[in-house]
Amino acid sequence: MCEKGDNGELFNTALVFSPRGELAGWYRKVFPWRPHEPYDPGDRFVVADLADAGRVGFSICYDAWFPEVTRHLAWMGAELVLNPVQTTTPDRAQELVLARANAIVNQVFVASVNTAGPLGMGDSLLVGPEGDVLAALPGKEQGVLTHTIDLDDVARVRRDGTAGTNRMWAQFTPADAPLNLPLYQGRIDPDRWCPRKGDDR
């Protein structure tokens, strides 16, 4: 939805409702598609704990092109990243690659849900934490994409490794020195590398 901020800003905002229909949170798109969108950027990443549905992280459309978004959501404990999309442009094929890549490098489920035709390009899909396409609604046809997932797969993949091999979240040990990130004027601190649990965000 289009949201007007307290100081006259204009945000592209996703509302998050619990299975009981209660407002559980909201997310303002961090990376508006410039120069084509008139929106101001949001200032935080958002995850929501939904009873019986796990911890869900939210990104909107073009956010998926920035690896920082899904990485932070996974670090905040998201088991599923929901990325609603309204792509009307010919770059949907690249977005499908990004959905799989974001799932693989963060070991999370990713749902990239696009507007169907005639307005959108369609091609919605659900990707597992090892990058497998679990369900898809190909082409521009209208429909409902449904699939039952086991959120325990996230913990399993992180424990055993993607394809039984790669364990990115176990990359650092407490004995490793911090790594400076000049782009962010920050650093990777090995003590803070692993995804958060519960309210420890």
pLDDT tens, 64-91?
999 999 999 999 999 999 999 999 889 9
**Which has the minimum average pLDDT: 6-10, 77-81, 116-120?**
116-120
What is the predicted pLDDT for the residue at 201? 44
Q: Please give the Cα distance from 112 to 85 (Å, whole number).
A: 7
Q: Please give the Cα distance from 25 to 152 (Å, whole number).
A: 24
Cα-based distances in Å from 122 to 15, 70, 92: 21, 21, 8
Residue pLDDT, tens place only, 122-148:
999 999 999 999 999 988 888 898 999
What is the predicted pLDDT for the residue at 200? 46
H-helix or E-strand spanning residue 94: helix 92-106
Mean pLDDT (the chain) is: 93
> DSSP secondary-structure letter at 110?
E
Can you tell me whether residue 81 is helix, strand or coil?
strand
